[in-house]
Structure 1
Amino acid sequence: MTLAALGDSLTQGYGLPMEDGFVPQLQAWLRASGADVDVINAGVSGDTTAGGLSRVAWTLTPDVDAMIVNLGGNDLLRGIDPAVSRANLDGILRTAQDAGVDVLLVGLDAPSNYGPAYKAAFDAMYPELAQTYGLDLYANFFASLQDGTDLMGVRVLYMQSDGIHPSAVGVGKIVDGIGPAVLSLIAQ
């Protein structure tokens, strides 16, 4: 089975040796769990949902059986209107649906610095799109890092010095968290 991971720097493995990034660690985790799967790294550092939409058609080659969509972080960092992000994600999911490719949609939680209306609109788009398309949703890419440790502790233990990108240890925890959802996706 071939699984494409469409995303941004979180998927691409920014700041890490190649073998420590999300895709190589996920592939190793899946194989250790008995899944015969090749994971394609379709992550581009700095990419927004618009960039993902522009790349999705050529990412979905005939070899791709399933796809993880992990986009939206750079939209957040740039304060892009959630309606625009949502429309781009909708286009990505529609393209995957038209290609007959099952998708695991991976969300993020918006910070509150753009105000409550922005946060509510951004946070709602992932579950609403998953429901619209009948997809599995992994609600927050960083969920497994939030294990009761305070925010400063999370940054020290699991993040690179920029406070945005996970360290190799952080990626390992993220993979441990998301891995069962990916196994469920490829079982479909």
Structure 2
Amino acid sequence: MNRRDCNATVLAAAALAYLPFRAGAAEPGSAPVILVVGDSLSAEYGLARGTGWVALLERRLQEGRRTARVVNASVSGDTTAGGRSRLAALLERHRPALVVLELGGNDALRGLPLETTRDNLRAMIRASRDAGARVLLLGMDMPPNYGERYRAQFRAVYTDLAREEKVALVPFFLAGVADGPQAAALFQDDRIHPNERAQPILLDNVWPQLQRLLPRA
């Protein structure tokens, strides 16, 4: 990953940022909502509609006859600040039982302070919990060229928050994709965004923690 690729990703976000979100406000007696708040890794950037890991999650829930409904509120190019600014309206609109937070990668690519990322994620965790939702935090990492010290500090943002706020954590959302033996075959040409082949792996990374947090039927 490099800054030039990051800038291309951010510019591409403009076309996707205004796509409508799925579903309306939750109503009493309706299926519990899983709200996914993420960036391009969850917004199907560069993928055919319906092939991203969030769409695969919805399909898995349906096949398993789980009553939860999935709302994908992810925006390509988004940062933790952007997610934080959008979250209150999303919580009010969808009244989720579970919030999945997949943000932070763009903060690091833009060189934003780690403490700012930490504060934004903490605020989102607390706002979701105050709204009555459980929270699943998806951890991220940076490529080796960022240096081991920075990478350790970045990873600690997620592990520390999960411990301090007592929320569920997927330690590395891209496990088996970015660090796998066939990583090159699992990314799009930009070498930033996982391709369609990688999406089931991403879902499998999230699923064990997510299913533990689903409301019981």
Richer in helix (by share): 1
Letter in 2 for 1:165: H
Two-structure CA RMSD over aligned residues (Å): 1.7
Partners of 1:117 and 1:154 in 2: CA distance: 23
Partners of 2:202 and 2:136 in 1: CA distance: 15
Q: Does 1:75 align with 2:107?
A: yes
Q: Is the 8 A contact 1:29 1:179 kept in 2?
A: no
- Structure 2 unmatched runs, 5+: 1-31
Q: Is the 8 A contact 1:2 1:66 kept in 2?
A: yes
Higher Rg of the two aligned structures:
2
Following superposition, the deviation at residue 78 of structure 1 comes to 0.8
Relative distance call for 1:115 and 1:154 in structure 2 (3 A) is closer
Q: Does 1:174 align with 2:202?
A: yes
Partners of 1:70 and 1:103 in 2: CA distance: 11
Partners of 2:140 and 2:158 in 1: CA distance: 8
Q: Which residue of 2 aligns with 1:30?
A: 61
Q: Is the 8 A contact 1:82 1:118 kept in 2?
A: no
Q: In the TM superposition, what whole-angstrom CA distance separates every residue of 1:102-151 from its partner, at most 9, and x where no partner exists? A: 000001012343444432221101011111111110011111326751xx
1:16 aligned counterpart, secondary structure: coil
Partners of 2:47 and 2:177 in 1: CA distance: 18
Q: Does 1:154 align with 2:183?
A: yes
Q: In the TM superposition, what whole-angstrom CA distance separates every residue of 1:23-53 from its partner, at most 9, and x where no partner exists? A: 2111112322342221101100000010011
- Structure 1 unmatched runs, 5+: none
Equivalent residues, number: 184
Identity of aligned residues (%): 39
Q: Is the 8 A contact 1:12 1:22 kept in 2?
A: no
Relative distance call for 1:177 and 1:33 in structure 2 (3 A) is farther
Relative distance call for 1:146 and 1:51 in structure 2 (3 A) is closer
Q: Is the 8 A contact 2:38 2:103 kept in 1?
A: yes
1:20 aligned counterpart, secondary structure: coil
